[in-house]
Amino acid sequence: MLTACVFLVGTGEWVMVGLLPELAADLKQPIPAVGGLVTGYALVVTVAGPVVTVAMLRLPRRRALMALLVVFAAGNAGAALAGGVGALAVARMVTALTHSTAFATALVIAVSAAPAAHRGRAISVVAAGWNLATVLGTPLGTWVGGRYGWRTTFWGIAALSVLVLVAVAVLVRPVEPSQRPAPRAEVRALLGRGTARVLAVTVLAQAGLFTLYTYISPLLGDVSGFDADAVTLLLAAFGAGALLGNVLGGRLADRDPERALRATLLVLAAVLASFALSSHARWTAALTVLVLGLVSAALIPLLQERALAAAPGAPTLITAVTASAFNLGTAGGSALGGQALGSGSGLGGGGGGGMGLDDLAWLGGLVVAAAAVLAFKRPGTRSNP
């Protein structure tokens, strides 16, 4: 049920990308205007997530999760009823308010119910909801929107949210802490060098990935030579690799998370950089997409585990802040990739006033390499007098 909660939240965020053409046509707006809803959602998640989490810390975790599901369902119902871009934007912002806190609450409930030696696996099980949202939820929501209208997609997400809400009420019985969390104490628990290091690594790693991944569809089409149907299959392969990587990352987090994090960052930087060359042949491009999905997803439970270890006194808040860090990295990487392309002049992998699509692989690899360098710095170390 906790994985289902995360699956719905992830689908609610990413399905907008697939629905942009239908939304633009129905609302009679250019695609860039409607696309601003995607950016706005990510920004609200980044800024409001920790604030909402602090405000709900005193609530029992199960009750908090149920309240968030109610708001999430209402936000998606409001999106389905929206008569224009303004109303749709308001509904999406309401939905975005639940994003980080719902994920954080679900994750902390799972970790508290698992043995300490299996914390990484518990994280990977819940985080698998993000991967399922990419592989299953977003394509299904896009298909429903194309066949029955975009409003049907949002009605469907709202209805599923109500079903999951009922299931959580019946089935989820979390282990509540003996003392209610104190918001000030949790905020103070975040103010360590180890926490700042994990969050910085998270932002850089995600930014490096999305410098390339934001433009992976045109890269596979224009540089690798795949048609639209083949690109869809390759993105599904990325998602399949991500599911495997999520399981792998959870197991690594239970063994030696610090060493595994450093090694995974180095491998991700190498895989991204290699795409600059492998993207020019179809079979190597396809293989790289699969490996990229596996390695990038393995990072999620590793980073979440390191974040929880850095701030054990603030498990819910640090998880929400980490989710905001992921969204900040996504927005930053997308912006960096777009800026590097120079207003699209580098499309097709050559010439013009910007980088080519294949050059984004080098750029993304360099950003992840910076994250790896930061990860090799030991947290909170001080020289002896």
More confident residue, 378 or 250: 250
With contact defined as beta carbons under 8 Å apart, do 109 and 6 qualify? no
Q: Are residues 12 and 130 in the same domain?
A: yes
Which tokens in the block code for residue 73? 């369902």
CATH of the domain at 330: 1.20.1250.20
Give the model confidence (pLDDT) of 12-24 as tens digits: 988 887 787 788 8
Do residues 157 and 228 share a domain?
A: no
The parent domain of residue 329 ranges over 185-377
Q: Which residue type, as a one-letter code, is found at position 53?
A: T
Verify that 165 and 267 share a domain, yes or no: no
* CB neighbour list of residue 159: distance below 8 Å, 6 or more residues apart: none
- The model's pTM: 0.77
Which of 1-5, 173-177, 348-352, 381-385 is predicted most confidently? 1-5
Residue ending a domain, among 153, 181, 209, is: 181
Q: What is the CA radius of gyration of the chain?
A: 20
Q: Read out DSSP for 73-109? A: HHHHHHHHH--SHHHHHHHHHHHHTTHHHHHHHHHHH
| pLDDT, position 195 | 87
Name the residue among 292, 276, 132 with its Cα closest to residue 205: 292
**Average pLDDT of the residues in 269-281:** 94
- Reference 246, options 286, 296, 290, 199; nearest CA is 296
Question: Angle, nearest 10°, between helix axes 99-113 and 119-132?
Answer: 140
| Confidence grade of residue 378 (pLDDT, cut at 50, 70, 90) | low
Q: Structure tokens of 210?
A: 């999305």
Same domain, 159 and 202: no
* pLDDT mean over 202-222: 88
| Burial class (CB within 10 angstroms; exposed 0-12, middle 13-18, buried 19+) of 353 | exposed
Same structural domain for residues 100 and 148? yes
Same domain? For 196 and 337 the reply is: yes
By percentage, how much of the chain surpasses pLDDT 70? 90
Residues recorded for the chain: 385
Check whether residue 34 and residue 56 sit in a common domain. Answer: yes
Q: Is the distance from CB of 234 to CB of 225 less than 8 angstroms? A: no
Residue 175 resides in a domain: yes
DSSP secondary structure letters along 43-81: HHHHHHHHHHHHHTTTS-HHHHHHHHHHHHHHHHHHHHH
**How many Å apart are CA 378 and CA 172, to the nearest integer?**
38
Contact between 311 and 317 under an 8 Å Cβ cutoff? The reply is: yes
What does the pLDDT look like over 186-195, one tens digit per residue?
A: 677 677 678 8
In the structure encoding, which two tokens stand for residue 247, read together?
């399981």
Residues 6+ apart with CB under 8 A from 381: none
Which pLDDT band, with edges at 50, 70 and 90, does 348 fall under?
very low
Do 87 and 122 share a domain, yes or no?
yes
Give the whole-angstrom CA distance, residue 56 versus residue 58. 6
- Are 84 and 126 members of one domain? yes
Mean pLDDT of the chain: 85
Q: Which of 358, 227, 224, 240 is nearest to 284 (CA)?
A: 224
130 occurs within a structural domain:
yes
Q: Are residues 304 and 330 in the same domain?
A: yes
pLDDT band at 178 (very low <50, low <70, confident <90, very high): low
Overall domain count for the chain: 2
Q: Check pLDDT > 90 for residue 364.
A: yes
